[in-house]
Amino acid sequence: MKKIEAFIRHEALDAIRDRLAHMGLPSMSVSEVKGSGRQKGFTESYRGATTTIFLRPKLKLEVAVDDSDVDRAVDAILELAHTGEPGDGKIFIFDIQEAIRVRTGERGDVVLAPHPEEANA
Amino acid sequence: MRFRAFRSVPALAALMLLALPVMAFAQDDAPTVESLAESVGGLTTAIDSVWVTVAAAMVLLMQAGFGMLEAGLSRMKNAGAVMAKILINLSIAMLMFWATGFALGFGTGNDFWGTSNFFFSATGLPDAADTVYSANTASITSLFFFQVAFCAVSLAIVFGSMLDRTKFAAYILFAIPFAGFIYPVVAHWTWGGGWLYQAGFLDYAGSSIVHLQGALGALAGAIILGPRVGKFRGGKAVPIPGHSIPLAIIGVIILWFGWMGFNGGSSLVAFNLDFADVLLNTNFAAGAGVIGATISSLLMFKTIDVSQMGNGAIGGLVAITAPCAFVDYWAGIVIGLVAGLLIPLVVVGVEKLKIDDPLGALAAHGVSGIWGTIAIGLFGTAERMDPVIVGLLEKTSREGLLLGGGAGQLWVQTYGVLATMAFTGGLCTLVFMAIKMTVGLRVSEDHETSGLDISEHGMFGYPEQFIDVPGATPEATHYRSPGSSSDPASSTKPATAS
C-alpha cells in the first residue's frame, strides 16, 4: 500500500477526481494548503505599502492505493495537473504500514477496495 | 427665480411680524393676492424639490444595493474588484451626465435628442425653460440630480452579467458612451418629450428606459465576453456559487428601499400626493415577485433558491416600474407575480443558451423590464392614464387590452420596447466590440483564475482569506480561560484587542 500525496493547482482537481474515480480509486482527501516553491511570489499592495507574498494557495490531494495502482494513479495526476508553468506542484509517495476501516475494523488491502455498489456502477 | 424668491420668504415673514403694529395702520402694505400667490408658488417649488432631492438620494443608495448584490453573488477573490467597478461607474456617470447626458436627454431639441444645456450650469438659472422641465415645479438642479442617479442605476445593471472576468479599463470605456450618449437619447424619446412620448408610449419610472437598457448592455457584454472559466463543462452549466447570500440579499433589500425613491420620486412633484399611491403598487409588486420566484423555484428545482428569491424581488420591482402609476393594486400584484414566476425560467433558459449571467441581470432587469413595459397595454386604467395622455397629449386614453380597451396601447408599448432593443442593443454591441478589439474586454485566463482583486488591483477584498496578514489571528495566550473570569483585567478586555 502506498500513499500518494500530490500538491496541485485548484483548477486541476475536478479532472483528476473524475479520472481517478473512473479508474476505481474514488477515495481521497483534499485539503487547502499554502506553500512556496519555484513559482515566484506575488505583490500585495495596500494603500501605497507593498509586501511580497511567498505562500501561494494550492490543494493537497492524498490518495491511498494498492501497490499495483500507484503508476496508473500517478500518471493520471501527472497528465492532468500539468500546464508546463512553474507552480504545477509536486507528487510524493509514501509507504503505508497499515490501513484500518473504522466502521468494521477490517485491516489491509480490503480497506482500499471501492464500495461494492460503486465497483458495480 | 421662484427658487431664489423663496429663500427670502422667512426673512420677509420676520420683518412683517415686526412691522405688524405699523401695518395695522397702513392698509396699502397688506398681502395682496399676487404676493400670496408668489409665496405659495415658492412653497410648492421648495416642497417638490425636497421630495425630488430626497428621492434622488435614495436612488443613489441603490449603488450600495447593486454593490452588495454583485459582490455577494461573485466569488471572494473578485469582491474588491466589484466595489471598484461600482465606484468608477458612478463617478463617470456623474461627469458624463453633466457634460452631455442631461442635454441629450432633457434639453430642448428635436424628437430624437435634446440639444441644449450641454455642460449643465446652475448659475444660469432658471434655464429650466430650456429643458423639458419648463412646466415642472421642482427646481431644475434637483431634477438633474434625480436623472443622473437614474442613469447610474442603468449603468450599474450592465456589468451584473459580466462579473468575475472583465477588465477594469472596459468599465471606464463603456461608461463614457453609455452615460454620455446611449442612455440619455433613449430617455429623451419618452421623458424628454421625444417621438415615443408623442406616440403615447408610457414608462413611468423606467422599466424599459433604465432597466431594459441596462439589461441590453448586459446581454451584449455577456455574449461578447463569453462565460467564466469552468462555467460550462461538457455542454452543461456548472454552478459557481456566490460567496455571500446574506450580503446579496441585504443588497436586494437596499435596492427595494431605493426603489421607493426611484418610483415614488418619478412623480417629480410632492404636492398632489400621487407618490404614495405609486409606492403601494411598487411594494405589492415586489412582494408578489418574491412569492412568484419562490413558487417557480420550488416547482422547477424542488428547492427554494434564496438567490432566485432575491432576483424575484428585483424582477417584481423592475416590472412595476413602468406601470406603477397606471394600474390598480390588483394588477400591480399580477404584474409582480408574473415577473417573479418568470425569473427561474429565464435564468435556466439563459444558461441553456450558454450565456453566463452570474447575477441574473437578464432575467431580473431584461425580461421583467419588457414585461412591465408591455403590461401597461394590458392593465392600464383610463382613470390613471388620462391625466398623462389626455392632459398632455390631447389624445383619448387607451385602456389596457385586458380591461377591454383594445390593443392600441399594447401596440405602442411593444414598438417602444422594440425600438429601445434595436437602438441600445445595437450600440452596446458596437461599443463592446470596439473595446474588445482595442484594449480588450476580458482579463487573461491566468488573471481570471487568480481573481480580479489581486490581478487587477493588487489587493484582496478579503485578504485574510488568501494571504497571511500580520496580526490577523488573535494570540491564543490572551484568550480568557474558564477560571480567569473573576480577573478584572481580562474580563474587561476583549481578546482581540490585545
pLDDT tens track for B388-397: 665 555 565 5
Task: Report d(CA B333, CA A102) in Å as an integer.
Answer: 57
CB contact under 8 A, B468 and A55: yes
CB contact under 8 A, A57 and B460: no
Q: Is B381 exposed, middle or buried (0-12, 13-18, 19+ CB in 10 A)?
A: middle
pLDDT(B436) > 90: yes
CB contact under 8 A, A45 and B460: no
- Gap between the terminal Cα atoms of chain B: 60
Weakest mean pLDDT among B110-124, B176-190, B282-296: B110-124
SS3 label, residue B394: coil
pLDDT at B162: 94
Instruction: Give me the interface pTM, i.e. the ipTM.
Output: 0.79
Q: Which residues of B touch A55 (CB under 8 A)?
A: 467-468
SS3 label, residue A64: strand
Q: Which residues of A touch B240 (CB under 8 A)?
A: none
Phi, psi dihedrals of residue A10, rounded to the nearest 5°: -55, -40
Nine-digit cell string for B180: 454620455
CA of residue B371 relative to chain centroid, distance: 17
Distance from CA of B458 to the nearest CA of A (A): 5
pLDDT(B261) > 70: yes
Task: Report d(CA B178, CA B188) in Å as an integer.
Answer: 14
Task: Report d(CA B188, CA B114) in Å as an integer.
Answer: 7
pLDDT at B422: 97
pLDDT at B465: 86
CB contact under 8 A, A44 and B230: no
DSSP code per residue over B31-77: PPHHHHHHHHHHHHHHHHHHHHHHHHHHHHHHHHHHHHHHHHTS-GG
Identify the residue among A34, A44, A59 best suited for mutation to test binding to B, counting B beta carbons within 10 A and taking the highest.
A44
Q: How far, CA to CA in Å, does B275 sit from each of B44, B55, B80, B355, B360?
A: 15, 10, 37, 38, 29
pLDDT tens track for B15-67: 445 555 444 444 556 778 888 878 887 888 889 999 999 999 999 999 999 99
pLDDT(A118) > 80: no
Nine-digit cell string for B58: 435614495
The H or E element spanning position B193 is none
In single-letter form, the type of residue at position B52 comes to V
pLDDT at B479: 72
Angle among Cα B101, B104, B109 to the nearest 5 degrees reads 160
SS3 label, residue B419: helix
What residues contact residue B264 under an 8 Å CB cut-off, 6+ apart?
B55, B275, B276, B278, B279, B282
Q: What residues are paired with A94 via a beta bridge?
A: A3
Phi, psi dihedrals of residue B73, rounded to the nearest 5°: -95, 5
pLDDT tens track for B347-363: 999 999 999 999 999 99
Query: What is this structure's pTM?
Result: 0.86
Does residue B417 contact residue B368 with C-beta atoms inside 8 Å? no
Nine-digit cell string for B170: 472596459
pLDDT at B83: 96
Task: Report d(CA B296, CA A3) in Å as an integer.
Answer: 48
pLDDT at B88: 96
Nine-digit cell string for B131: 429643458
CB contact under 8 A, B460 and A53: no
Task: Report d(CA B258, CA B89) in Å as an integer.
Answer: 18
Report residue B404's pLDDT band, with 50, 70 and 90 as the boundaries.
Answer: confident
Q: What is the mean pLDDT of chain B?
A: 87
pLDDT at B486: 53
Distance from CA of A50 to the nearest CA of B (A): 9
Task: Report d(CA B495, CA B480) in Å as an integer.
Answer: 7
**Of residues B470, B446, B498, the one with CA closest to residue A46:** B470
- Side-chain-side CA neighbours of B241 within 13 Å: the count stands at 7
**A11, A34, A46 member nearest B459 (Cβ):** A46
pLDDT at B374: 95
Distance from CA of B238 to the nearest CA of A (A): 12
Task: Report d(CA B163, CA B216) in Å as an integer.
Answer: 15
Q: DSSP state, B231?
A: S
Does residue B75 contact residue B156 with C-beta atoms inside 8 Å? no
Distance from CA of B67 to the nearest CA of A (A): 21
**Of residues B333, B337, B319, B311, the one with CA closest to residue B248:** B311
pLDDT at B497: 46
The H or E element spanning position B145 is helix B140-158
The H or E element spanning position A109 is none
Percent of chain A at pLDDT exceeding 90:
55
Task: Read off the pLDDT of each residue in B177-185 and give the average, rounded to a whole number.
Answer: 96
**Of residues B127, B145, B153, the one with CA closest to residue B52:** B145
Report residue B139's pLDDT band, with 50, 70 and 90 as the boundaries.
Answer: confident
pLDDT at A121: 45
Q: How far, CA to CA in Å, does B138 sit from each of A74, B53, B217, B268, B282?
A: 74, 9, 32, 7, 23
Report residue B3's pLDDT band, with 50, 70 and 90 as the boundaries.
Answer: very low
Task: Read off the pLDDT of each residue in B107-134 and give the average, rounded to a whole number.
Answer: 76
CB contact under 8 A, B458 and A55: no
CB contact under 8 A, B458 and A10: no
pLDDT tens track for B5-14: 444 445 545 5
Higher pLDDT, B138 or B85: B85
CA pseudo-torsion sign B318, B324, B326, B330:
positive
pLDDT(B370) > 60: yes
Number of Cβ atoms within 10 Å of the Cβ of A97 = 6
**Of residues B122, B76, B85, B61, the one with CA closest to residue B456:** B85
Q: Which residues of A touch B229 (CB under 8 A)?
A: 11
Query: How many A/B residue pairs have CB atoms within 8 Å?
Result: 25
pLDDT(B498) > 50: no
Number of Cβ atoms within 10 Å of the Cβ of B195 = 15
Which chain B residue shows the shortest CA-CA distance from A32? Answer: B466
Q: Which residues of A touch B460 (CB under 8 A)?
A: 44
Identify the residue among B446, B465, B467, B469 best suited for mutation to test binding to A, counting A beta carbons within 10 A and taking the highest.
B467
Distance from CA of A45 to the nearest CA of B (A): 5
The H or E element spanning position A62 is strand A56-65
Torsion of CA A104, A109, A114, A115, to 10 degrees: -20
DSSP code per residue over B317-360: HHHHHTTTTTS-HHHHHHHHHHHHHHHHHHHHHHHHTT---TT-
